[in-house]
Amino acid sequence: MQNSTDLFERAQRLIPGGVNSPVRAFRSVGGTPFFTKSAQGAILTTADDQELVDFVCTWGPAIHGHNHPVIREAIGKALEKGTSFGTPNPYEVEMAELIIDLVPSIEKTRMVNSGTEATMTAIRLARGYTGRNKIIKFEGCYHGHADSLLIKAGSGALTLGNPDSAGVPESFAAETIVLPFNDLSAVSNAFETYGDDIAGIILEPYPANVGLIFPRDGYLQGLRDLCSKYESVMIFDEVMTGFRVSAGGVQEKENITPDLTTLGKIIGGGLPVGALGGKSEIMDHLAPMGPVYQAGTLSGNPLAMAAGIAALRLLKEGDCYDRLEQMGAQVRNAISTTLQETGIPAQIPQTGSMFCLYFTDKTVENLDDATQTDTERFNKYFHTCLENGVYIPPSKYEGNFISTAHQQGGIDQACDVFTQALRSL
């Protein structure tokens, strides 16, 4: 087998940028990305035969680690019956029952194939349900690469958005209002100006595609109150946080009830999947019940459903969330202690199995704060960790994930590497 350098050279001739998702290219941190040939538990084995303790966890889904025997067995049993039917299958019903049982706000759910597809459908559904056009989103919250959501902020608080990618028409961006996260007055002003045409708000309740940001006290409830007042749809994008920060996601943890929720990652058990769900009266506007069209050949795929059901069942058993919280706290304490000893200006927001490291002495509350953190210091930290056997996300804007498999010694090893890497700075 070729090593990572050789594979990347081949890939660049065949695949744009040599990768099938941009952040994998290591453009933010520099260097050549490694290629993984296998994964087991909390460990990735690269094409160069290096073993790495993994804190990316396939960008969130691997809450039980890689190649978990129970999930693998569930996929194998489903595979014996077929890979895809194009008809309803029993796994879809069981998955819907699990999601509705675990997530307080969801009365009905629709399976799709990715988080992007889930958020795209949720936006369309909010517009179809309300008969309105505009959507509020927040700087730093990533909701996939659908045209309506690849929008950056305009020049002022109430300036409509501008395309954030080539190929997105300005007319699409004009229907998206982009505001700073954690600024409730900006949202209130937007509703006062455009309230009659705001179909809904979409947000990551804990933004995790810009590191990890927590809402100010009362912020999420304030958004809920504004949506209720103006009869707009509140959409929680819990693709990252769903079933990770708690069984019911951020909405359970913060006691906030959104109208729609988008899910993904963990509910696929490592296979491609997404879902949206919410109030029956809204969900029933989806075809074939209602006029909002959505379809997918592989939606509810039996292999993905079987894997996701196994993953969710494992979470319902035992003390998974307590163990994940303990490991998250262990990482936070190890890093915090080292920061105090070294005087390095940095902070480590953490909740349960999610954390990140911002190199700044200022509390990060929005995208502007995150962009002003020390990129050079982060990049050095990343490469030092990688060289010493720990893989963290190759961008200062990505969150880290812990799996239940890390308790098998991986968390102790990683804490040693994290502290050594900090001291080397």
Distance CA 139, CA 73 (A): 41
Q: Which residue among the candidates 91, 108, 137, 237 is catalytic per the annotation?
A: 237
Give the long-range contacts of residues 156-159, CB within 8 A, separation 24 or more: 157/186, 157/189, 157/190, 158/186, 158/189, 158/190, 158/193
Beta strands in 47-87 (DSSP E): 51-54
233 φ/ψ angles, rounded to the nearest 5 degrees? -90, 125
Q: Considering Cα of 403, then 404, then 406, then 412, what sign does the dihedral take?
A: positive
Distance CA 57, CA 243 (A): 14
Preceding omega of 288 cis (within 30 degrees of 0): yes
Q: Which residue among the candidates 108, 134, 137, 265 is catalytic per the annotation?
A: 265
Q: Which residue among the candidates 91, 129, 142, 391 is catalytic per the annotation?
A: 142
- The residues, ordered by sequence, that sit 6+ positions from 129 with a Cβ below 8 Å of its Cβ are 199, 233, 282, 285, 292
What DSSP state is assigned to residue 421?
A: H
Distance CA 342, CA 416 (A): 15
**Cβ pair 145, 117 in contact under 8 A:** no
> Residue 230 catalytic?
no
CA distances from 17 to 8, 27, 391 (A): 9, 10, 21
DSSP letter string, 77-108 = HHHHH-S--SS--HHHHHHHHHHHHHSTT-SE
Distance CA 190, CA 66 (A): 44
Q: Exposure of 188 by Cβ count < 10 A (0-12 exposed, 13-18 middle, 19+ buried)?
A: middle
The H-assigned helical ranges of 166-301 are: 170-173, 184-194, 219-230, 249-254, 280-283
Number of H helices, E strands in the chain: 14, 16
Q: How many residues does the chain have?
A: 425
> Residue 265 catalytic?
yes
Distance CA 158, CA 141 (A): 18
Helix, strand, coil percentages for the chain (3-state, nearest 5):
45, 15, 40
- The residues, ordered by sequence, that sit 6+ positions from 344 with a Cβ below 8 Å of its Cβ are 338, 359, 377, 422, 425
- The catalytic residue positions are 142, 237, 265
